[in-house]
A and B are shown apart, each in its own frame.
Chain A
Amino acid sequence: EDQVTQSPEALRLQEGESSSLNCSYTVSGLRGLFWYRQDPGKGPEFLFTLYSAGEEKEKERLKATLTKKESFLHITAPKPEDSATYLCAVQARTGNQFYFGTGTSLTVIP
Chain B
Amino acid sequence: DTEVTQTPKHLVMGMTNKKSLKCEQHMGHRAMYWYKQKAKKPPELMFVYSYEKLSINESVPSRFSPECPNSSLLNLHLHALQPEDSALYLCASSLGPGGGEQYFGPGTRLTVT
Q: Which residues of B contact A46 (CB under 8 A)?
A: 2, 101-104
Nearest residue in A to B56 (C-beta to C-beta)?
Answer: A97
Contact B41 A102 (CB under 8 A): yes
> How many whole Å from B63's CB to the nearest CB in chain A?
22
Q: Kindly report which residue of chain A lies nearest to residue B4, judged by CB atoms.
A: A43
Q: How many residues on chain B are close to A (CB under 8 Å)?
A: 29
Establish whether residues A41 and B109, one from each chain, have CB atoms under 8 Å apart when the complex forms: yes
Q: 1/0 per position for A91-103, CB-CB distance to B under 8 A?
A: 1000011101111
By the criterion CB–CB under 8 Å, are B98 and A43 in contact?
A: no
**Which of B6, B99, B106 contacts A32, CB < 8 Å?**
B99
Alpha-carbon gap, A87 to B48, bound state (A): 20
The one of B40, B50, B98, B102 in contact with A98, judged by C-beta atoms closer than 8 angstroms, is: B102
Residues of B within 8 A of A105 (CB): 40
Main secondary structure of the interface of B (DSSP, over half): strand
Q: Mark B35-59, 1 if CB is under 8 A from A, else 0.
A: 0000011110100101000011000
Binary contact track A64-99/B, C-beta < 8 Å → 1, others 0:
000000000000000000000001000100001110
Q: How large is the interface on A (under 10, 10 to 19, 20 to 34, 35 or more residues)?
A: 20 to 34
> Would you call B74 an interface residue if the criterion is a C-beta within 8 Å of the partner chain's C-beta atoms?
no
The distance in angstroms between the C-alpha atoms of A53 and B105, with both chains bound, is: 30
- CB pair B99–A31 under 8 Å, yes or no, is yes
Give 1 or 0 for each of B69-88: 1 = CB within 8 Å of chain A CB: 00000000000000000001
Contact of B90 among A34, A43, A49, A103 (CB under 8 A): A43
Bound-complex Cα distance A43 to B50 (A):
21
Given contacts A41-B107, A43-B106, contact A49 B101 (CB under 8 A): yes
Question: Which A residues fall within an 8 A CB radius of B?
Answer: 31-32, 34, 36, 41-46, 49, 87, 91, 96-98, 100-103, 105
B residues whose Cβ falls under 8 Å from a Cβ of A? 2, 4, 6, 31, 40-43, 45, 48, 50, 55-56, 88, 90, 92, 94, 97-107, 109
